[in-house]
Amino acid sequence: MQQGVFLAVFLSTAHTPLVLLRGWLSDVAHLNPVTHVLELARQATVAGVEPSLAHTWPGVVALARRAAVLAALAMGGLQRMGR
């Protein structure tokens, strides 16, 4: 679990702004859903990041996908436990 969380955060813009990332790390950060969630959160906390639909919807979609995947995993576990 620690490795998964580390990779999700390391391959996002959590520590380095997207404009400073170079090479393959920049490409991966664009695809990482954690990057979109961080952009969503930064609208409310970081000066200079304009609140806009362009920054909001990718983060909301990433959170909805995460909730759907976790709900599916939970339902699968409950079904296995009930057998």
Tokens of 8: 């999700």
Q: What's the whole-number mean pLDDT along residues 2-28?
A: 85
Give the Cα separation of 13 and 35 in Å (integer). Answer: 6
pLDDT band at 78 (very low <50, low <70, confident <90, very high): very high
The residue extents of the domains of the chain are 2-82
Q: What is the dihedral of CA 51, 54, 58, 61, to 10 degrees?
A: 80
pLDDT tens digits, residue range 21-37? 899 988 998 888 988 88
Closest by CA to 34, choosing from 58, 54, 3, 69, is: 58
